Structure 1
Amino acid sequence: MPTFAIDFETYYDRAYSLKKMDAWSYVHHPKFDCYLMSVYGTVPQASSLPCPDFQSSNIQQSTSHTLFRWVGHPKDFQCWEKLEGALLLAHNAAFDSLVFRRLQELGVIPDWVGQAVPSEPSPHQSTNPIFHQSSRDLRWRCTASMAVYLQAPRSLKGACKQLLGIEVDKTQRSKACGQTTGDLFEADAMTDYALEDARLCFLLWEKHHHLWPEDEQELATLTFEWGQTGIHVDFQTLEKCIQTLEQQRFDAVQLLPWVDDFTEDTPLSHRQLALECRKAGIPAPASLAMDSPLCEAWENKYGEEYPWVNAMRIFRRTNMLLSRFYAIRNRLVVSGGATPPGEPSSVAAGVDRGISPKAQSLKPMVFPYSLKYFGAVPGRWSGDSGFNVQNMPRGELFGANLRKCFQPSDGNIFIIADLCQIEPRILAWLIDDAAFLDLVQSGVDIYEAHARSTMGYTDPEPLKEKDPAMRSLAKARVLGLGYGCGPKKFMTVAKNLGGIELSFAEAKQTVADFRSKNTRISRLWKWLDRDFKHSAGGDYSIELPSGRCLNYFDVQKTSRGYFTARTVRGGRERSLYGGLLCENLVQATARDLFAQHLLEIHRSGIGRIVFHVHDEVIVEVPKERAGETKEQILEIMRTTPDWLSGCPVDAEAGIFNHYTK
């Protein structure tokens, strides 16, 4: 198969860059200018095709392949036919594939390159064309994703240093900030830099792709393809939520004594707040950050007595929520079809041109999003580009429900399915807790199973009906104490997970009780801790049930007596211990199980995976097949793979007309 690394160089400046914008908005911005494309790769000699730039491409011969190199403005490339049926590599394929598509929309790249080729659906696939997975002439693979799978840095510079031993100089890219095409081509430095990036991308692939399983390669590509396809949005619901929040934020501002003009004054001015607190004779919070527990405690203590304190609470929360709603609205694109050359694609741009929100609401709108493949140590996905689809607020807040804005396209419905308490099940399976697993396998609620096996519950009635308070405590114990959580932290965990207020003494007693009655879990912590410490001076590796390995590099004992390692090659040192290693082991195993389910659902063709959240997947399916498809998805997600044999995997699913949890 022909294999090419492709790298695009695009204009950027201090205000217009990927550091401040999501990729979709960046490539559809009026300033977008792709002034360089570099191609580096190989073509089997038997399939080598004539090219007008053959001589200038510095082609070198090998026994079976031809090395192809080219760099220049993409409009000057004359060898597009070479890309047909090729494997395309990019270091950040999510971005480069988007640039590729945008250049096709602008007429720079012929639209026939990579055009989908229809194929016959298998009998179990939907006949609805929007769910049929067509084969493509172009296949993208991301070497940045490969790097993070191998626990190397995501950046090209870091990946090359750790995986190739090559130091990469990015000075030329920094010099390109704000430079026009004419400025950049005064010398060969920029073209040399661009071609070198493509060459390094190709070398990374050639040396390491055999260590990256094909299933994982496909998952990485699907991750950005799902995000580029996006989520359908009900524009009317979105606008109504924004108006509701803006009104409440405005009303809150009116109660802040130091704000005369919302457009000029700063409601979150810590200095002005401190002065007002001094007048009232109360302390000022040290921070106004949304995640500050001290600020939350300050609001709870003084909010009822001082209306402006409560107004500050409302302002902070509505302002935070509005930032998420604005992010959705500003990135919306019209569903279906390419954006005409020179036309902005976002709804915000449409409104700026005088198109009313009512008119916009008549068009099907889509929100493109981004997720990071292998964004966390266990290999789970994480949020990206300023909006995390995996961390959306639940339910209605201040009269606005963000999740309700996400809806299936016309004629379709959402199947939302998730794995049931998968981490406690896997932990019990890892330590071979047969009594607990037998109870769960028989259909007993997992928290009740814990209460029966370790908390002395013996009543024949279900715990949920007989003693809800005990079940809440059991839930907090199961989810909070399996990874070595101490008393102080468990006080917070118990409150957040079960609504239980515990004193430090009560939390300490609960932790001690859990550990004394779950000795197999404690032994697993100790075993991992011991092996990790014995690896000091080298690396430590945990082989997962799936066959994947979690690696911890450069294990060291510090002068203070604790042990550290790097979870990313060449990365920062992190303090690690048995409980945390156990958590990584369990979460990584759950991730691999869920990843397998995602691939099976995708390959089945029964619906379109819209996005996923931790152990939950949202699939868009035709309404008329909702019930049947729900059962098919459940069958997939309740299947225990051979490498997890004996673990009672379970899932639940529902049919919804909007995203909910």
Structure 2
Amino acid sequence: SEELELTHLVGVDHVDQLLHLLEYRGSQKESLEEVVHRFDFESLVEEYGLDSSPEPQVTLKQDYELVLKKDFTEWCSLLASKKIFSFDLETTSLDVHKAEIVGFACCFDDEKAYYVPCGHVERADDQITKEELCEALKAILENPEVKKVGQNLKYDVEVLLTHGVHVRGVWFDTMIAAYLLHPDTGGYGLTQLAKEHLRYEMIEYNEVVQDGQLFSDVSLAEAVAYAAEDAHIAWLLYEKFAPLIEKYELKRVCYEVENPLIEVLAAVEHFGMRLDSTLLESMSKDVAIQLRDLEGRIYGEAECEFNLNSPKQIGEVLFDKLGISTQGVKKTKTGYSTNQAVLEKLADEHPVPALILEYRGLHKLKSTYLDSLPKEVSEVTGRLHTRLNQTIAATGRLSSSEPNLQNIPIQTELGRRVRAAFIPSEGSLLISADYSQIELRLLAHLSGDEALIDSFRHGIDIHERTAREVLDIPEGETVTSEQRRLGKTMNFGIVYGMSGFRLARELGISVGEGNDYIERYFGRYPKVQQYFDSLEKQMEESGEVRTLLGRRRVISEIEQGARDRNFVKRAAMNAPLQGSAADLIKLAMIRMDRVIREESLPLTMVLQVHDELLFELSMNSLAEGNVQHYKLRIQQEMEGVMELSVPLSVGVSSGDNWEEAHS
């Protein structure tokens, strides 16, 4: 019966986990009050007997000054005397290549802030021009000894790059600081941070800029109130967050990694990549033919036509018309699930599920990449400019958006061909530098496991060794490719907290065998097990774990109580490894940027994806023989960025497109 099946599924092994979830851990009133007021769950205040009023909204002392042409020179002298200030640009667009600078706001004390208009319609003759602004501030903004503070500074740095100003000395981004302090919460916008940390309600953009207007249309009185407030609040948040960064021992990751990275990311995004749109258009036409062919085959096998993009209709065809069993298939509001896992499971029972999977893969590739990427090319630069985000992934990894270049499928030949459309500038070559097995090397270093360390120090194939250890393959006997695949799956799976069930699904073996392999793995690498146990204990006791450079991954007591123990365990195991890998690749970006600038190397960093950095090498003034020299130079710099108990390994290759360079 269904009840007996449920009892069987839960089993004795899961009772401890269930009891753990049901445990009463006492009232966490302060944490609950913070959540309730932060997310406006005011209906819960009375129900749980909470404090009905958060800290009162404050009125800040504000002395905001408009700086017009007649006072600009004197004001510049004042700014030049400061060693640190916050600043914010007002512009006409979020697109950094189209944005015209309308004004410059700055602040360097608790009450006074300034706004220098340079593009407003009102009183245009009384304002300096944007060219005069950039020329006057260039020396200050490009001086690395003068510390710059702000909110989401990458945007401002990119806009200034467009106008010929290379900002140096980025010291403190309040958005980054909020993220480092609370990497799991999200919501790092200036308005929310002001409300949450200063109890202050900021002026909203749509309060001053009406529909159809640009900021240049806003009156100077409204503009100074809005713009100077931005710089002022950023300054106050800096004063609030800086001591917290020190208190929570985040200084290294804040001042040596994340903030210096802002200038690097701004340059990478701003330069962008060249795209062969003609190749993608040709591929799109080919895929359209394949999709039509697949449609015909699916309809023929199903003996009816239906909407291949409708999960509901697919479910009706598979389970009602074709009579495929629904046993083990989850039921949703619209019918039985037809997600990828379900279709993969059903593929052996009928040809249609496998054909639908193939159709979906091709359809997604066509819509997401072949058809969409050419539309993302900037009409200003003729290049593709992805955004590399620092505050999305809780682990510290960069994420890519608009477009996302991290999820291009490379398991298939067609997916790999998409990367062939990313090409260098005319007269240049692409160089790919990719860290090898970085998380496994970090695991060896952090756990101190002698067998892992020995493998990396002596250049032993770690996947072959794991297969040999787990499967008891004697020395001298060849490890097959299938056996090595098991070793590779285990090595990378263990890093992500893979269960015996997941391993069994990946390898097509029984759950019992999967559990047995994992047990044997930890038997061969005992310090890895000890290390993971210590992380789990640390997470349960303190609610956080740290990377090599001190980055935090925080899971509150409320979250630990609400989520199952396996989630907490996986997060504890994974965060220090993924986070340390993130820290390492970011340090590599900072180092490479500095070396390229200081030595005027003919290299430009154009992209970061996972553990890979992509560079353009200008061939215009280079002999062919110099390519190897620069590849070796990149490898040496990246391998020397962090000293571990095992050597870092970077594979470097070059080519006329991204796919060729990555091969």
How many Å separate the matches in 2 of 1:138 and 1:219? 11
Q: 2:190 aligns with which of 138, 141, 156?
A: 156
Q: Secondary structure at the match of 2:426?
A: coil
> Structure 1 residue 581 and structure 2 residue 572: aligned?
yes
Query: Which of 360, 375, 378 is 1:330 aligned to?
Result: 375
Instruction: Output the CA distance in 1 between the equivalents of 2:208 and 2:615.
Output: 44
| Aligned residue in 2 for 1:345 | 380
Aligned 1:591-630 pairs, distance under 5 A: 591-605=582-596, 606=601, 607-623=603-619, 624=624, 625-630=626-631
Cα–Cα, structure 1 residues 600 and 247, in superposed 2: closer, same or farther, change >3 Å? same
In the alignment, structure 1 residue 178 sits paired with structure 2 residue 232: no
Shift of 1:73: 4.9
Q: Distance in 2 between matches of 1:195 and 1:555?
A: 39
- Please name the residue that 1:531 is paired with: 538
Instruction: Using the aligned pairs only, state the percent identity.
Output: 19
* 2:230 matches 1:213: no
Q: Supply the distance in 2 between the matched residues of 1:525 and 1:310 (Cα, whole angstroms).
A: 38
Corresponding residue for residue 201 of structure 1: 234
**1:165 aligned to 2:180?**
no
Q: Which residue of 2 aligns with 1:435?
A: 451
Q: Match for 1:489: what amino acid?
A: R
Q: CA deviation at 1:205?
A: 3.6
Aligned to 2:290: 248
CA shift, 1:185, in A, is: 5.0
Establish whether residue 377 from structure 1 lines up as the match of residue 394 from structure 2. Answer: yes
Partners of 1:137 and 1:515 lie apart in 2 by: 48
Partner of 1:349: none
Number of the residue aligned with 1:46 = none
| Equivalent of residue 476 in structure 1, options 472, 476, 489 | 489
- Unpaired runs of 5+ residues, structure 2, are 1-82, 142-147, 246-250, 301-305
Q: Which runs of structure 2 are paired with 1:92-103 in the superposition (5 Å)? A: 92-97=152-157
Shift of 1:626: 1.5
- For 1:5, the aligned partner's letter is F
- Tell me if the contact between 2:340 and 2:357 (Cα under 8 Å) persists in the aligned partners: no
CA displacement, residues 320-367 of structure 1 (integer Å, 9 cap, x when unaligned)? 11222222101224xxxxxxxxxx538xxxxxxxxxxxxxxxxxx421
Secondary structure in structure 1 of the residue aligned to 2:615: strand
Cα distance in 2 for partners of 1:289, 1:223 equals: 41
Q: Distance between the aligned counterparts of 1:238 and 1:479, measured in 2?
A: 33
User: What's the secondary structure of 1:148's corresponding residue?
Assistant: helix
**Separation in 2, partners of 1:556, 1:298:** 39
CA 1:256–1:204 in structure 2 vs 1: closer, same or farther (change >3 Å)? same
Displacement, 1:627? 0.8
Mark the CA change 1:233 to 1:297 in structure 2 (over 3 Å): closer, same or farther: same
Q: Aligned runs of 1:40-189 on 2, under 5 Å?
A: 40-42=106-108, 67-70=113-116, 73-74=119-120, 76=124, 77-78=127-128, 80=133, 81-87=135-141, 90-97=150-157, 114-115=164-165, 142-151=173-182, 153-161=187-195, 164-169=197-202, 173=206, 178-180=211-213
Query: Does the CA contact (< 8 Å) of 1:7 and 1:197 recur in 2?
Result: no
- Per the alignment, do residues 171 and 292 of structure 1 end up closer, same or farther by CA in structure 2, a change over 3 Å counting? farther
Q: Does 1:8 align with 2:8?
A: no
For 2:222 and 2:336, locate their aligned partners in 1 and report how far apart those are by CA, in whole Å: 47
What is the aligned length? 529
Deviation of residue 274 (structure 1)? 5.0
Displacement of 1:517: 3.3
Distance 1:417 1:470, change over 3 A: same
Alpha-carbon distance between aligned partners in 2 of 1:35 and 1:634, rounded to the nearest angstrom: 39
Which is worse superposed, 376-385 or 182-191? 182-191
1:288–1:622 CA distance, 2 compared to 1 (3 A): farther
Residue type at the aligned position of 2:406: Q
Inter-partner Cα distance in structure 2 for 1:399 and 1:599: 30
For residue 71 of structure 1, report the CA deviation from its aligned partner. Answer: 5.9
Distance, in Å, in 1 between the alignment partners of 2:430 and 2:421 is: 13
Q: Flag the 1:509–1:201 CA change in 2: closer, same or farther, 3 A.
A: same
1:658 maps to what in 2? Answer: 657
Q: CA deviation at 1:268?
A: 1.6
Aligned CA distance change for structure 1 residues 408 and 300 (closer, same or farther; 3 Å) = farther
Q: Which deviates more from structure 2 when the two are superposed, residues 433-442 or residues 418-427?
A: 433-442
> Structure 1 residue 506: deviation in Å?
1.2
What is the distance in 1 between the residues matched to 2:563 and 2:295?
A: 51
Question: Residue 178 and residue 292 in structure 1: after superposition, are their counterparts in 2 closer, same or farther (change >3 A)?
Answer: farther
Q: Deviations over 1:483-502 (max 9, x none)?
A: 5422112223xx2xxxx321
1:201 aligned partner, one-letter code? A
Quote the Cα distance in structure 1 between the aligned partners of 2:296 and 2:480.
Answer: 47
* In 2, Cα distance between equivalents of 1:312 and 1:576: 32
Structure 1 counterpart of 2:658, which letter?
A: Y
Structure 2 CA distance for aligned equivalents of residues 450 and 511 of structure 1:
11
Matching of residue 633 in structure 1 with residue 646 in structure 2: no
What's the counterpart of residue 269 of structure 1? 310
Aligned-residue offset at 1:639: 2.3
How far the C-alpha of 1:511 sits from its partner, in A, is 2.0
Cα distance change on mapping 1:448 and 1:168 into 2, 3 Å? farther
TM-score between both structures, scaled by the size of structure 2: 0.69
CA distance in 2, matches of 1:223, 1:240: 32
Structure-2 separation of matches of 1:140 and 1:328: 34
Q: Offset of 1:283 from its aligned partner?
A: 7.0
The two structures, once aligned, show a CA RMSD in angstroms of 4.0
Distance in structure 2 (CA, Å) of the matches to 1:325 and 1:397: 14
SS for the counterpart of 1:524 is helix
Alpha-carbon spacing, 1:206–1:313, altered in 2? closer, same or farther (3 Å): same
Contact kept, 8 Å, 2:311 with 2:337, in 1: the verdict is no
Which structure is higher in helix share? 2
Contact 2:284/2:370, CA 8 A, preserved across alignment: yes
The alpha-carbon distance between structure 1 residues 173 and 90, as it changes in their structure 2 partners (threshold 3 A), is farther
- Cα deviation for residue 507 of structure 1 reads 0.9
Alignment of 1:456-495 (within 5 A): 456-460=472-476, 466-492=479-505, 495=506
Q: How far 1:281 moved relative to its partner? A: 4.3
For residue 370 of structure 2, what is the amino acid of its counterpart?
F
Aligned-partner residue type, residue 158 of structure 1:
Q
Distance 1:186 1:599 in 2: 41
Aligned-partner Cα distance in 2 for 1:178–1:5:
26
CA–CA distance in 2 between the matches of 1:602 and 1:290? 47
Please name the residue that 1:421 is paired with. Answer: 437
Q: CA deviation at 1:475?
A: 1.3
Q: Which amino acid aligns with 1:238?
A: L
- Tell me the distance in 1 between the aligned counterparts of 2:279 and 2:214: 43
Residue 427 (structure 1) shift: 1.0
**Paired residue type of 1:480:** G
